[in-house]
Structure 1
Amino acid sequence: MKNIVLIGFMGVGKGSIAREVVKYSDYIAIDTDDLIESMENKKIKKIFEENGEDYFRKLEKHVAKWLEKSVHDTLVSTGGGFYKRENLQKIGTIVLLDSPFDAIIKRIKKHPNAARKLKKRPLLNDLKEAKKLYEERRPQYLKLAEIVIDVTDKSAQECAKELLKKVKKYG
């Protein structure tokens, strides 16, 4: 069993789907944003506000190196920009959770904690800019992905089961 690395745009459901995968497999799940928050003892939003995006990306790079060297048999949920880490393929099988931008925003807004979910994602403050970012990143996600799961209008449970089937066939 090697690592599974979930990539995809912010708000696509990487964390929710990871929690479901754990229920149906022997994987444990970790989240790169959670690791960074623990390292800095600050929320991502605060890191962006106080230190800027470049500093945050350096923290991601540090986490990526640690994952490659130290983490095995684990499902790794990543932040939306983590796909740029040069050693991504060395960390594990890359699975893209894919959905159109409007469906992602609709999904977030439907969530019971929608306001909190939007607030914790500083890059979603301006939806017009966020959509541009999505359109820039999506082709790159598709290029990197070894497996693609369309999560549009599917429950986290459905996505988790599909992911596990595809990973088993792939690996």
Structure 2
Amino acid sequence: MLKNKNIVLIGFMGVGKGSVAREVIKHSDYITIDTDDIIESMQNRKIKDIFAQDGEAYFRKLERNVAAWLESSVKNTLISTGGGFYKQENLKKIGTVVLLDSPFEKIIKRIKHHPNALKKLKKRPLLKDLKKAQELYDERRPEYLKVADIVIDVTKKSALECSKELLKKVKTHA
């Protein structure tokens, strides 16, 4: 039985969590929410502005508040998370944790080739410096693998292919 019957998508920023989530809801009974969207709504400002005005520590506090709410109040939902959300202590209590995984270079290439590439890069403050972003990826990836219940390699796969694989693996994981 899935914990709360939620699916929690984790992975590095730009890996395609939102795209895969949109495909999953087309092919299942899940609804989807995004933790960054919730935080932006709560604060009535963009993530990049929260980082610029109040810093990363404040943003992580907001994520903890959202994580507590997700655990207590959200069921039967696919939850797309920000790149650092995997650090929430109650992550496994929220739902089945699915890592969307891809090499750093492929993530950056995917973002740069997206029709809205400039907008996508602008909304991710931690991608301003690609050297630092690579270091962050290298630091996070082993941690992602450690907390994931299921890993989906998204490299060379469409969002539709990833969503079908995700739904199949979640069903057999239950």
- The TM tier, using the shorter chain, reads over 0.9
Q: 1:144 aligns with which of 122, 141, 147?
A: 147
Of 71, 75, 81, 2:74 maps to: 71
Residue 16 (structure 2) aligns with:
13
Structure 2: state its 5+ residue gaps.
none
- The answer for the alignment partner of 1:96 in structure 2 is 99
Q: CA deviation at 1:153?
A: 1.4
Alignment partners' CA distance in 2, 1:85 and 1:168: 24
After TM superposition, what 4+ stretches of structure 1 lie above 4 angstroms from structure 2? none
Asked if 1:83 is matched to 2:86, the reply is yes
Q: Secondary structure at the match of 2:18?
A: helix
TM-score for both structures, normalised by structure 2? 0.98
1:35-92 Cα deviation digits (max 9, x unpaired)? 0000000000000000000000000000000000000000000000000000000000
Counterparts of 1:153 and 1:116 in 2: how far apart (Å)? 23
Where 1:79 maps in the other structure, the secondary structure is coil
Alignment partner of 2:172: what SS? helix
For structure 1, which runs of at least 5 residues remain unmatched after alignment?
none
Identity of aligned residues (%): 75
Output the TM-score relative to the length of structure 1.
0.99
